[in-house]
Amino acid sequence: MALRRCCWKLVGPGSRLLWSGSVQPGTYSPVGRVFVNTRQGYKSSELQLRRFTSRQPPSPDVSYEELKRLLSEQKAVLVDVREPWELREYGFIPGSVNVPLGQMDTALQLGPEEFRERYGGEMPLQTDHIVFVCLAGIRSKTALSTAASLGYKDIQHYPGGWHEWAEREQIK
């Protein structure tokens, strides 16, 4: 029996499964279940096949040990999203670039020269591994969402923030 004009909305950000026209439900392939997805503007005969997997995406959180390793191997750009006065009062993780959260959206859209002039560090590229940090992990999670909306893919945040870093590094 063919399925006609049915729309399913799956759980998860932006996951929609749309079937339009005459499509046989439950199509299988050797590599797993294949679903038929049509987008607006496509003729009903033009179908986009999409495979769903059970593989979990990498965690957006980075632990203290992972952060130490990434920094020692210089495999990540560390962006501190606190206000400049907080860095002066509490301290900062060596090697981090300070971009206050309120400026994050515009900062990540600047040219490399202007970014360097304003923030005193190299602008992270969309291909760089970026880790966001703040005082306690709240603002860094917001920065993660902002960067993702601007097309950055390899991004994480340090939920322990400066509090955990200072405690583990025995900074007073």
Catalytically active residues, by annotation: 134
Q: How far is it, in rounded angstroms, from Cα 95 to Cα 33?
A: 46
Distances (CA, A) of 101 to 23, 80, 83, 142, 155: 47, 9, 8, 8, 15
